[in-house]
Chain A
Amino acid sequence: EVQLVETGGGLIQPGGSLRLSCAASGFTVSSNYMSWVRQAPGKGLEWVSVIHSGGSTYYADSVKGRFTFSRDKSKNTLYLQMNSLRVEDTAVYYCASLAADYWGQGTLVTVSS
C-alpha cells in the first residue's frame, strides 16, 4: 500500500523557519516526480515545488529563494525547508506524485505573530 505522511507543520512567527517532511512507503520517491502543493484556508490549490527523478528542483515564484525541496533516498523521504516565512505562506501543505495519484494527508503551517 502506498502512503505519504507529512509532518513538521505548526505555528511559526513571521520570518521563522520550518522543515516539512514527507515519508513515503510502498513506492520509491526518487523514481518519481514529486511535488509540494499548498492550500490556504478556504482557498484553492497552489503549486509550490517539484523535484524530478534526476534531482532537479523548480519553485513557484512566490517561494523561490526561501524554500528548498530535497530528498533522502536512504529514508525514502522528502523535505521542504521553508525559511523567511510570511503570513501568506499559511496553508495546508501536501506532498504528492501527481500523475500517480499519491497524496499525503497534508500538514498545516500557520505563520502568525
Chain B
Amino acid sequence: DAKTTQPTSMDCAEGRAANLPCNHSTISGNEYVYWYRQIHSQGPQYIIHGLKNNETNEMASLIITEDRKSSTLILPHATLRDTAVYYCIVLGVGGSNYKLTFGKGTLLTVNP
C-alpha cells in the first residue's frame, strides 16, 4: 500500500471549515483513499473513502486531485467534538490481505 504524509497537527476555529491535507504520491490506480479519526480512548471512526471522484457524506467531503497524488478531507463546520487524530490511509482493492496501515495522523484541535 502507498505511503501517506500528513501534517502533525492543525488548529481550526469552531464553526469554520477544517481542511486536512494528505499526500499519497505513490498511489496506484486501484487504491482507495480512506479517512478515519480517533478520539481519545475510542476506536477509530470511519469517515469517508474514495477512488477517483470527490465524495461527500453526512460527516465530510473528500476532494481527490486529478492526478490522485493528494487529497483533502473537509469538515464543513467544525465543532469541539471534531477534535481528534485524523488518519489518511491508502488501501488496495482485492487481494487476500485487507489491512489498514495507520501512520501518525494529524491531530486536529478545534478551538472555541
Partners in one complex: no
Interfacial residues, chain A to chain B (CB-CB below 8 A): none
Interfacial residues, chain B to chain A (CB-CB below 8 A): none
